[in-house]
Amino acid sequence: MAVSATLAINQLTAERLAAGRPVLPLGFGEAGLPVHPDLVAALRVAAASGSSGGYGPVTGLPALREAAAGYWRRRCLPTTAGQVIAGPGSKPLLYAVLRASVGGVALPRPSWVTYAAQAQLLGREVHHVPTLDGQGGVPDPDLLDAAAASASAAGRPIGLVVLTLPDNPTGTLAGSGTIRSVADVARRHDLLIVSDEIYRDLVHDPVREFLSPAELAPERTVVTTGLSKNLALGGWRIGVARMPEGPLGDRLGAEVAAVASEVWSSPANPVQQAAAWAFEEPEQLTERIAASRSLHARVAGAVADRFAAAGASVHPPTAAFYLYPDFSAYADLLAERWSVRTGTELANLLLDSFDVATLPGAAFGDPDERLSLRIATSMLYGEGEQREKALTAAD
Ligand code: PLP
């Protein structure tokens, strides 16, 4: 297996920067913002007790599980602490959930690199199902229905569908009608829904209503989230998963806990203590998230406008800090002048000849001929003081 495309581009960018190349880092999806000082203080207090806190319970500290349950309850999802499992990031939790499920894996096309790679690690069949235009992260319900029916007819049924709400790589959020239809399809074909909601608090389109499939199909939906994106805590490695209600949730929860016990034991104890406070959503952190949301919106919006003005096709960003422009309008020029015919060749050309790091659509399961790139705009905020200023600037 190759190293994840996103981590690989980060490594390559870092190496070129270290070698003195002025690389514009549009490839890697870090939140690009400083950690709130009160979070640093909370971690310091937790770490300063003189004890590491020990390994702690496999499913996470009770205080963190209760705080995460409260986070979901405030978002109209009745949740008990017993339904919550904390892990070292939502990525390993997604892997453990996938491991605990059965059958083929339906993914939106395009979708975040890791889902297909995790399915591959587990030897599971992947079905890429195209999304509706402008509704990234959710397979077209009719196409999902057809894919599930034909997989069953072939004797290799799909067992699970992953949704990303809002979406990476497209920066869009699927509408509630589409999510309702997908929930119906999931019921009809007895699919587990995994709803990756790591960017939920970064929806910046004021008229887009957020609907979680867990509100519609609580008996079959796992929700994952974390603090890596909304509070720029990717390096802290903490995430949480909310198991479905009822017997399926009990079974999955037990299996995820078993994987956790053999793979990571428990998340870092001091980090869990600070994370518990963050999930209580104190005012200063809510304000910080609101400020970052508006910064992401301004920068992604401005970059999208530039791409559109230059003739690329791009959906206006609805959430987070990603754009997914399609450069088909340049196909002839790219082929004639640069011998570029695929998204991968375009990304390589940009990096090698122009010092611009991006990721090709093929990394997200799109056909390489599509000439689409994922652009992460959050690394444009600068460093140190510059980033602090960006958070408070009006423009
Ligand atoms: N889900 C999506 C869609 C992501 O883009 C990312 C990070 O890039 C993650 C999950 C990973 O989050 P965590 O840091 O909680 O493992």
* Residue numbers in the chain where pLDDT is lower than 50: none
- Residue 269, both tokens: 């104890």
Domain range enclosing 212: 51-281
Considering the domain boundaries, does residue 323 fall inside one? yes
CA of 320 to the centre of ligand 1 (A): 12
CA of 345 to the centre of ligand 1 (A): 26
Claim to verify: residue 214 and residue 346 sit in the same structural domain: no
Claim to verify: residue 229 and residue 378 sit in the same structural domain: no
Considering the domain boundaries, does residue 330 fall inside one? yes
Considering the domain boundaries, does residue 188 fall inside one? yes
Q: Domain ends where: 220, 246, 281? A: 281
Count of the separate structural domains present in the chain:
2
Q: Domain ends where: 247, 281, 315? A: 281
Residue of 64, 228, 359 to test ligand 1 pocket, by largest number of atoms within 8 Å of CB:
228
Domain of 191, CATH number, reads 3.40.640.10
Considering the domain boundaries, does residue 43 fall inside one? no
Considering the domain boundaries, does residue 337 fall inside one? yes
CA of 339 to the centre of ligand 1 (A): 34
Q: Domain ends where: 221, 252, 281? A: 281
Claim to verify: residue 268 and residue 292 sit in the same structural domain: no
Claim to verify: residue 152 and residue 277 sit in the same structural domain: yes
Plot region of 112 (φ>0 → left; ψ -120 to 50 → alpha; else → beta): beta
Give the C-alpha separation, 111 to 109, whole Å: 5
CA of 198 to the centre of ligand 1 (A): 6
Residue of 10, 114, 138, 272 to test ligand 1 pocket, by largest number of atoms within 8 Å of CB:
114
CA of 118 to the centre of ligand 1 (A): 13
How wide is the angle at C-alpha 137 spanned by C-alphas 170 and 157, nearest 5°? 145
Q: What was the pLDDT predicted at 207?
A: 75
CA of 374 to the centre of ligand 1 (A): 15
Tell me the β-bridge partners of 126: 105
Identity of residue 139: P
Claim to verify: residue 185 and residue 297 sit in the same structural domain: no
Q: What was the pLDDT predicted at 146?
A: 98
DSSP 116-182: HHHHHHTT--EEEEEEETTEEEEE-HHHHHHHHHHHHHTT--EEEEEEESS-TTT-----HHHHHHH
Considering the domain boundaries, does residue 44 fall inside one? no
The minimum-distance atom of ligand 1 relative to the CA of 29 is 8
Give the C-alpha separation, 197 to 240, whole Å: 10
Domain of 288, CATH number, reads 3.90.1150.10
Pocket of ligand 1 (CB under 6 A): 29, 89-91, 112, 164, 168, 196, 198, 226, 228, 234, 239
Claim to verify: residue 359 and residue 331 sit in the same structural domain: yes
Claim to verify: residue 118 and residue 248 sit in the same structural domain: yes
Q: Which of 351, 353, 374 is nearest to 362 (CA)?
A: 374
Residue 364 · residue 126 · CB < 8 Å: no
Q: Phi and psi for 372 in degrees, rounded to 5?
A: -105, 150
Q: Which of 189, 113, 111, 116 is nearest to 153 (CA)?
A: 189
The minimum-distance atom of ligand 1 relative to the CA of 228 is 14
Claim to verify: residue 275 and residue 318 sit in the same structural domain: no
Considering the domain boundaries, does residue 45 fall inside one? no
The minimum-distance atom of ligand 1 relative to the CA of 112 is 3
The minimum-distance atom of ligand 1 relative to the CA of 225 is 15
Claim to verify: residue 245 and residue 300 sit in the same structural domain: no
Alpha-helical runs (H) found in 235-282? 247-263, 269-279
CA of 255 to the centre of ligand 1 (A): 21
Claim to verify: residue 148 and residue 92 sit in the same structural domain: yes
- The predicted-structure confidence for 351-375, as pLDDT tens digits, reads as follows 889 999 999 999 999 999 999 999 9
CA of 43 to the centre of ligand 1 (A): 22
CA of 91 to the centre of ligand 1 (A): 6
The minimum-distance atom of ligand 1 relative to the CA of 92 is 16
pTM over 0.90: yes
Q: What was the pLDDT predicted at 394?
A: 53
Alpha-carbon torsion angle 163, 168, 173, 177, nearest 10: -20
Considering the domain boundaries, does residue 225 fall inside one? yes
The total of other beta-carbon atoms located within 10 Å of residue 314's CB is: 22
Claim to verify: residue 109 and residue 198 sit in the same structural domain: yes
Claim to verify: residue 186 and residue 275 sit in the same structural domain: yes
Nearest-CA residue for atom 9 of ligand 1? 91
Residue of 9, 28, 90, 377 to test ligand 1 pocket, by largest number of atoms within 8 Å of CB:
90
CA of 351 to the centre of ligand 1 (A): 24
